[in-house]
Amino acid sequence: MTEFFSDLGLDAQYLRIVSKASCGASDLGECLAARHRMTPADISSWQRQWQASAREVERIAQAAHARGHALSASEAYLRASEYYRAAFYFCRSDPSSACLIENWLAHRDCFRKSVALGPWHCELVEIPYGESSLDGYFFSPPQDGGSSATLIGLTGIDATAEEGFCLIAQPAVRRGFHALVFDGPGQGSSLFQKGLFLRPDYEAVLEGAVAWLGARPDVDPSRVVLVGRGEGGYLALRAAAMGAHVAALVADPGLLALDADICALLPKSVLELAAREDLEANDVLESILAQAPALASRIQSATIAHGAQRAAEYLHGLARYRLDGALGQIQCPTLIVAADHDPLSTQSLEVFEALRCEKSFLRFTAAEGADGPCEGAGQTRFHQRVHDWIEETLLPLHH
């Protein structure tokens, strides 16, 4: 659809921000104003202008709060949180940078102020994880009448628990579900503060989350749904294939491997060098990434999230993130989602065909305005169709 930036990485991230207007976490006018102030294809300009937008909207929130306008303050804090996330997005390749730390902390702080002032019932939670814990949020619907169905949301590695509110939690709560979102290993506070890296056996992460939910009297453990978006689609499939006890599963999209789109973006020769653990791969990669700053930022930040020292080590380690032969072990009803022009969706049909459980397939198209990564700007259509499927799937379990 519309291209706002010539650089595909910047364009995709801009659309990601604009799409949050559907949940109130961005404003189209504010996004367009920020875009007009930016120097095209300049990541430093991107960072400065989103930070400027975030600070301006945060001041609006503070003024509204001071004058007793709680809802207006909540709405502005939510938008400021998203703009701060945009400001640090391309800074994640350096975990110690002021750009990352300052904007991430502001992103989290504004989000927490937003939910505290808004209509959402939100608890800040800590999910047990080995000797540490995973920070997250548990949302409840208003006037909950007892034990309810619950969605566990898994987002992409480049997302935060706070972003999971729009991507998964808010639409679920509006429909009467509980929702749990958290920073898994390699994400948000788990990475930036606790140094926890992504792990291939993600079922170990889900075990703690499912057990934590099962101990709550307001959660029906027989009606827990796992929803993965972006790379979270792979993580959700992996956890379900390895025995995570959930009533239903949504994978948006279906991924056999975590390197689905990275492999398509890099020359085969580089991937072959990395597969052999040939150190020459790092030198070749550096020359390629010097010409593609958005791609460079993505690979460098993923390298850090995976706990690798250099990019070639990260690429080599991706071989551990594959589901060859495991999909047939999933037993719960499963919905596989695909979208036109989403590089991660190329494996969705193959995943669907490999499933042996009760299964459904949804495709979103450019013609309906729902193409691109995670359905791009078509978030309303996505949530309507996916949540209708969830409600119909859980209906026989209602009691």
Is residue 288 pLDDT above 90, yes or no? Answer: no
Provide the residue ranges of all domains of the chain, joining segments of one domain with +.
1-119, 121-258+321-399, 262-319
Helix, strand or coil, per DSSP, at residue 27: coil
Q: Residue 198's pLDDT is what? A: 97
Q: Per DSSP, what are the bridge partners of residue 338?
A: 363
Residue 305 CA, distance from chain mean position: 14
pLDDT class of 101 with cuts at 50, 70, 90:
very high
Q: How do residues 164-210 score in pLDDT, each as one tens digit?
A: 999 999 999 999 999 999 999 999 999 999 999 999 999 999 999 99
Q: Residue 82's pLDDT is what? A: 98
- Name the least confident of 147-151, 157-161, 223-227, 375-379: 147-151
Is residue 110 pLDDT above 80, yes or no? Answer: yes
pLDDT, mean of residues 374-391: 96
User: Where are the strands (E) in 238-358, listed by range?
Assistant: 248-252, 334-339
Residue 220's H or E segment, with its range, is strand 219-229
- Give the separation between CA 117 and CA 21, rounded to whole angstroms: 19
Beta-strand relationship, 248-252 and 219-229 = parallel
Residue 247, token pair as written in the block:
């009533």
pTM, whole model, 2 decimals?
A: 0.95
Mean residue pLDDT of the chain comes to 93
Q: Residue 270's pLDDT is what? A: 86
Contacting residues for 360 by C-beta, under 8 A, at least 6 apart: 333, 334, 335, 336, 389
Is residue 260 pLDDT above 80, yes or no? Answer: no
| 54 φ/ψ angles, rounded to the nearest 5 degrees | -60, -45
Is residue 85 pLDDT above 60, yes or no? Answer: yes
CB atoms within 10 A of CB 359: 18
Look up the CATH architecture of domain 121-258+321-399: 3-Layer(aba) Sandwich (3.40)
Q: Residue 113's pLDDT is what? A: 98
Is residue 90 pLDDT above 80, yes or no? Answer: yes
Contacting residues for 283 by C-beta, under 8 A, at least 6 apart: none
pLDDT, mean of residues 108-132: 96
Q: Residue 9's pLDDT is what? A: 84
Is residue 3 pLDDT above 80, yes or no? Answer: no
Which residue is listed with tokens 């989350």? Answer: 209
Please give the residue that has the higher pLDDT: either 291 or 139. Answer: 139
Dihedral class, residue 228 (left if φ above 0, else alpha if ψ from -120 to 50, else beta)? beta
Domain 1-119: which topology? Answer: de novo design (two linked rop proteins) (1.20.1440)
Q: Residue 362's pLDDT is what? A: 98
Q: Residue 8's pLDDT is what? A: 81
Q: DSSP assignment, residue 213?
A: H
- Give the separation between CA 76 and CA 61, rounded to whole angstroms: 5
Is residue 16 pLDDT above 60, yes or no? Answer: yes
**What type of residue is 161?**
A
Interior/surface letters 183-195, b for 16+ CB within 10 angstroms, e for the rest: bbbbbbbbbbebe
pLDDT, mean of residues 225-254: 97
Q: Residue 145's pLDDT is what? A: 53
Residue 302's H or E segment, with its range, is helix 293-305
Among 22, 8, 14, residue whose Cα is nearest residue 45? 14
pLDDT, mean of residues 18-45: 95
Q: Find the angle CA(368)-CA(374)-CA(378) to the nearest 5 degrees.
A: 30
Q: What is the radius of gyration, based on Cα positions, of the chain?
A: 20
The percentage of the chain sitting over the pLDDT mark of 70, rounded to a whole number, equals 97
Contacting residues for 268 by C-beta, under 8 A, at least 6 apart: none
- Give the separation between CA 140 and CA 7, rounded to whole angstroms: 40
Is residue 337 pLDDT above 90, yes or no? Answer: yes
Q: How do residues 54-79 score in pLDDT, each as one tens digit?
A: 999 999 999 999 999 999 999 999 99
- Give the separation between CA 228 and CA 159, rounded to whole angstroms: 12
**What type of residue is 53?**
S
CB atoms within 10 A of CB 161: 26
Is residue 2 pLDDT above 60, yes or no? Answer: no
Check if the beta carbon of residue 128 is closer than 8 Å to that of residue 203.
no
Which residue is listed with tokens 């975030």? Answer: 54
Q: How do residues 270-286 score in pLDDT, each as one tens digit?
A: 888 888 888 888 888 88
Is residue 147 pLDDT above 70, yes or no? Answer: no
Is residue 398 pLDDT above 80, yes or no? Answer: no
- Give the separation between CA 303 and CA 47, rounded to whole angstroms: 21
Q: Residue 298's pLDDT is what? A: 87
Contacting residues for 292 by C-beta, under 8 A, at least 6 apart: 7, 9
Check if the beta carbon of residue 300 is closer than 8 Å to that of residue 270.
no
- Give the separation between CA 388 and CA 250, rounded to whole angstroms: 12
